[in-house]
A and B are shown apart, each in its own frame.
Chain A
Amino acid sequence: MQFAKYIGRKVLWYLAALIVALLLNFILPRLVPGNPVDAIVSNMSRGGGATGEQMKAVYNNYMQQFGLDKPMWEQFLIYLSNLAHGNLGTSFAQYPASVNKLVGQALPWSIAIQLPAILVGWIVGNLLGAVAAFRGGWFDRGAFVGSLFASSMPYYCLAILLLYIVGVKLGVLPISGAYSFGLSPEPTLAFFGDAITYWWLPFWSLVIVFVGGQAVGMRSMSIYELGADYVNYGRGLGLRDNRIVRYIFRNAMLPQVTGLALSIGGIVGGALITELVFSYPGIGTTLFNAISQNDYPVIQAITLIITVAVLAANFLVEIAYGLIDPRIRAAQTGDR
C-alpha cells in the first residue's frame, strides 16, 4: 500500500535526524578543552575530604564509564549501548547519583506545570481565535492585539512579572519551590493542597502565553477559511450556519492539532526558564544546576530527552496527519 511507503520514508528521515542528534549530543561536550574527568576530579579534590585512594577509584570509574581512553568511535558505541540499556550515566556533581534518578525526579514537575497549561491554553486559545474571526469588529481587534501581545511576550518575562506582582507585591501565592519546606512529595490530599498553591503561578504564566499564540493562529486560519468558496456555496445550498462553521472549523483546526501535538512534544524543554524563575524543581532547574557545575552527563541527558520527545511528537503528528487529511495522503502517495 502507498501509505506504508509514506510511513517508511518518514521513519527513515526521523532515524537520520535521531542519529545526527545523538552524534551532536555525543561530540559537543567532548570538545570542551581538557578532559572533563580530570576537571571534575580535581574539583572534588579541591573540595577536600577525599583521600587519594578514593580519588583514584572515582577517576577510574569515570574513565571506564566513558571509555575516555578508547578511540572516539568506540566511545560512541559505548554511549549508544548505555543509552540502549536506558542508562544515562552518573552525575559528575552529585556523585554517585545516577542521571536517571536526577532526571526522573525532575520530569514529573515539568510535566505537571506544562501539560495542563498546554491543554487549557490550546482549548481557550482556539475558541478565542475562532470567535474573534467570526464576530469581527471591536471584539476581534481587541482579542487580536491582546493575543499578539500575550504570544509575543517572552514567557519568562511574563513569569517574572507575575512572580513580582502576585507573589511578592500582593503576597497571595508562594514565590519559590514546589511545596512547603518540611513536606515531602507523597500522594496525600494535604500535600496536594500545599503543592497546588506553588503550582498556580508557573501555570498561569504559561497559559497566558499559550492562549495568545493559539488565538492568533486560529484567527488567521479562520479568516482565511471564511472567504473560501465552499462557504459561499454552502450558503447557496441552504446549509445552516452552524454546519458551515463546522466545515470551517474542521479545516482551520488541522494545523492547530499539529500545534498541540508539537507543544506536547516540546514539553520537556518548553519552560526551562519558567522553572528557574519560580525555582520549580523541574528539568529547567536541573539543567541550570548542571550547567553551573559543568555536570556534562546531566546536560547531555536533558538535551537528549528534549530531542527525543520533540522528534517523537513530530513523527506521530506526521503519521496522524497523513491519516486525517486526505490532501496530504494524496500528495504523499501520488494518488489522484
Chain B
Amino acid sequence: MTRLLEATHLTAAYQTGGVEVRAVDDVSVHIDEGEVLGVAGESGCGKSTLGAILSLTARAPLYVESGTLVIDGQSQDLAVGSRIPRTWRGSVVSLLPQGAMNSISPTLRVRTLVYDVMRAHNARISKNEALDRARDRLKELELPVRVLDAYPHQLSGGMKQRVVTIISTLLNPRLLIADEPTSALDVSSQKALIDMLKQMLEQKIMSGVVFVTHDLPVLRTVSDRIAVMYAGKIAEIGPAEEIATGPKHPYSAALLNSVLVPEPAFRKKRVRGIPGSPPNLANPPAGCRFHPRCGLVMPDCRTKEPPHVGDELTFSACFWSAQHPGEAVPADKAVPRHIDDPTELDLPAAGATPAHAATTEGANA
C-alpha cells in the first residue's frame, strides 16, 4: 500500500488569558491510501484539535506550535507563521464538520455554497458547470437533486449531514477529516452516512479519511485502524479489530470496557467506567499521562515518557506493553479497583464512587 499522508510532530496549544493548554503534544500519524483512520478518546483528549490541525483549520485561540504534513510527496510546514496555501483546504485536505450545527450559513441556499466552493478553487468555472458537477455527485450517491435549492433549515439532520459531506468532497480531496459527523444523528442516519463514506472511498472520490468520534461502536465499523488518544497524545494505534478485541494499552482497554457492545461474545463483560478524569492539560502529569488512573502502573510510568512499542502504523505507548510484547492488556486489570493515590485526581470523590465519577463519553453515546 502506498502512503497517503505523513503528519509528524504535531503540537498545538490553546492560549487563553495567559494560560497555555497543549491539546495535542508531539503527535505523529501516518495514513495509507484508501484507509480510514479512526480517532477515539474521552472529551478533551485532543482528538478534535488533531482534526483541526490536519484539516488546516486551526485558528485563535488554537495555535499550531510545530508539525509537518507530507501528502503526495508535497511537504507543508504547519507551525504558526508558515504560509499554508488556501487552496489546500478543500482540495487536498477537507473538513467534514458535524452537520447538525450551523455549518451552512442559515441564509444561504445549498447551491450558493456549492458554487462558492467550486469558484474558490477554480476561478473560471461557470455556475452551471459547478452545479452540474454537484448534481452528478448527488445522483451518484442517490440523493435528491432538489436539496441544492434548499436552505439548511429545510433539511433534516441526516440529510443535512449527507449534503455537507458532499460539499466537503466536491473537489475530490485526498484526505477527508470527519469531526464527529455521526454524533447528532439517529442510528439509521448514522448507517446511511457511513455507507455513503465507504461508497465514496470505493469510487476514489477521496483517498483517505480521518474519522474523529467518541463513539467506539461506530468507529469499529467504519475504521481500518484506530488511534486512541489520551491527554494530547496517542496512547495506542493499530488495526481496528486488534484494538477492539485485544488492546495493548491499559487506557484502550479501559475505554473499551466502558462501552456496551451489543454482540453475544461481549455480553458477559462487565461495563466499568474509568475512575478519575482526564488530567488538566495546563499541567499534565509527568511520565505517562495515564499513570494516575492506570491499574498496571509501574515506577517508570511516573517519571519517564513511555516508549512506542511497535512501528509507526501500529504501536502502543506503554511500559507494560514493552515488557509484554504482543500481549493484550487483561481487561480486568486495566484500571485499579481502588486508587492508591486519590490526590492526583481532579475529583476528590472519584475513588469512592468510581463507576459514577467518570463515565466516558463512549458510555453515553
Contact = CB atoms under 8 A, between A and B. Distances in A.
Pairing of A with B: yes
Interface of A: 228-230, 232-240, 243, 247, 250-251, 254, 325-327, 330, 335-336
B107 A250 contact: yes
Nearest to B112: A247
Interface residues of B, dominant DSSP: loop
B351 interface: no
Given A229-B102, A251-B105, A236 B120 contact: no
A233 B154 CA distance: 19
Given A251-B107, A336-B154, A239 B116 contact: yes
A330 B120 contact: no
A236 B154 contact: no
B168 interface: yes
A232 B120 contact: no
29 contacts: A229-B97, A229-B98, A230-B102, A230-B106, A233-B95, A233-B103, A234-B105, A235-B57, A235-B59, A235-B89, A236-B89, A236-B90, A236-B94, A236-B97, A237-B90, A237-B94, A237-B95, A237-B120, A238-B90, A238-B117, A238-B120, A238-B121, A239-B117, A243-B116, A247-B105, A251-B105, A254-B107, A330-B151, A330-B153
Contacts, number: 85
B272 to A, nearest CB: 35
A17 to B, nearest CB: 29
A326 B110 CA distance: 13
A158 to B, nearest CB: 35
Contacts of B298: none
Contact of B104 (A233, A235, A240, A254): A233
Interface size class of B (residues with CB under 8 A): 20 to 34
Interface of B: 55-57, 59, 86-91, 94-95, 97-98, 101-108, 116-117, 120-121, 151, 153-154, 164, 167-168, 171
Contacts of A326: 106-107, 151, 153-154
B88 A232 contact: no
Contacts of A336: 154
A195 to B, nearest CB: 43
A213 to B, nearest CB: 24
Nearest to A326: B151
Nearest to B100: A229
A327 B89 contact: no
A240 B86 contact: yes
A243 B106 CA distance: 15
Nearest to A233: B103
Contacts of A228: 102, 105
Contacts of A240: 86, 120
Contacts of B98: 229
Contacts of B55: 236
Contacts of A230: 102-106, 108
A247 B113 CA distance: 10
A238 B89 contact: yes
A233 B97 contact: yes
Given A230-B103, A239-B117, A326-B153, A247 B108 contact: yes
B278 to A, nearest CB: 24
A239 B55 CA distance: 14
Given A233-B104, A237-B89, A336-B154, 7 more contacts: A229-B101, A232-B95, A233-B103, A236-B55, A236-B89, A236-B94, A236-B97
A158 B97 CA distance: 49
Most chain A Cβ neighbours within 10 Å, of B87, B88, B106: B106
Nearest to A248: B105
Contacts of B151: 326-327, 330
